[in-house]
Amino acid sequence: MTLYSRITGTGSYLPPRRVTNDDLARELAGRGIETSDQWIIERTGIRARHFAAPEVTSSDLALHACRHALEASGHSARDVDLIIVATSTPDMVFPSSAAILQNKLGIAGCPAFDVQAVCSGFVYAITVADAMIRTGGAKCALVVGAEVFSRILDFNDRTTCVLFGDGAGAVVLEASDTPGILASDLHADGSHVGILCVPGNVSGGQVLGTPLLRMDGQAVFKLAVRVLEDAARATLAKAGKVDADIDWLIPHQANIRIMQGTAKKLKLPLDKLIVTVDEHGNTSAASIPLALDAAVRGGKIKKGDTLMLEGVGGGFTWGAVLLNL
């Protein structure tokens, strides 16, 4: 029998503290930096984001999202035999946030590891989990995107600090005799490292370089629109599908203009675009599963729908996954 994998449950979690553009503008004004709700909305589509409390880690957010996903799938943590966490803001240098999450779930023994592909992380992670399930390496996987990006923002740089938020999203991916994940397409180009990075590292008990995010927004925008279309079309071709077969496009929630631009290139009406960037901001690896869960629980996405997930992030990394829910 041919093995496939299907999503059987989704879950998400946002920290309680909601920060509006006006809240952020007041905070930045105290630093002598001018911005406004209108300026942020016009350039990004973002109205608010959530920030975690100082003591809350990525694995804490992931734990809540995983519990919701497990409940939706009808499973308990004891059924899980693989954990993959996509994150660029892990709890520690090591061990992985996935190992820490495994302990918080009260289980042990199954493989647990992190994937670091920044905003493409969830697409990378679900592709890896699908491959492991198809080859018999797992039957019930937790695939998670979890971030506390507020920890690495430079609040003296209004062009970046207004963009990001914290949160987590998770799916239960199970072995199935009917196709769920139909195709995927992953890429990276390390020559673009400098346009989006946190150029710091720990050495001898000190941080070398800067531990804060740096981004060339114009360069990222130009590259993102092109590679997202390419990845989506390559994924459709692998699955033997066409643009019109997509019921819902769930892109990485970075910027409303990038998202709408991609939808138009795929000839999809904008009402088929799942948008949460307005309320979540850019939550990096968490953004796709957060948007997926919001749309499922909101009744937009239903069982049997065909979804295109796609992300682009620092590295430079990008990719897409086509699936039937």
For the chain, the domains span: 4-176, 181-324
Structure confidence at residue 225 as a pLDDT band (50, 70, 90):
confident
In this structure, which CATH number among 3.30.450.40, 3.40.47.10, 3.90.1300.10, 3.20.20.10 belongs to the domain 4-176?
Answer: 3.40.47.10
At the topology level, CATH places domain 181-324 in Peroxisomal Thiolase; Chain A, domain 1 (3.40.47)
How much is the pLDDT for 322?
98
How many whole angstroms separate alpha carbon 135 and alpha carbon 122?
A: 20
How many whole angstroms separate alpha carbon 130 and alpha carbon 137?
A: 10
Residue 119: active-site member? yes
Q: Give the chain's mean pLDDT.
A: 97
- Percent of the chain, pLDDT > 70? 100
pLDDT digits (tens, 9 = 90+) for 25-66: 999 999 999 999 999 999 999 999 999 999 999 999 999 999
Average pLDDT of the residues in 227-240: 97
- Percent of the chain, pLDDT > 90? 98
Q: Are 111 and 303 in contact (CB under 8 A)?
A: no
CB atoms within 10 A of CB 214: 18
Whether the per-residue pLDDT at 320 is higher than 90: the answer is: yes
Residue partners of 3: CB distance under 8 A and separation at least 6: 133, 134, 135, 136, 175, 176, 177
Whether the per-residue pLDDT at 69 is higher than 90: the answer is: yes
Which position has the token pair 């041919």?
2
Residue 68: active-site member? no
Residue 161: active-site member? no
How many whole angstroms separate alpha carbon 6 and alpha carbon 59?
A: 24
How much is the pLDDT for 254?
95
Q: Residues 21, 255, 282, 324: which is the catalytic one?
A: 282
Among candidate residues 115, 101, 45, 111, the one with its CA nearest the CA of residue 81: 111
Among candidate residues 89, 70, 181, the one with its CA nearest the CA of residue 130: 181
Same fold, 4-176 and 181-324: yes
Q: Residues 119, 140, 161, 197: which is the catalytic one?
A: 119
Q: Residues 50, 64, 252, 280: which is the catalytic one?
A: 252
How many whole angstroms separate alpha carbon 39 and alpha carbon 278?
A: 14
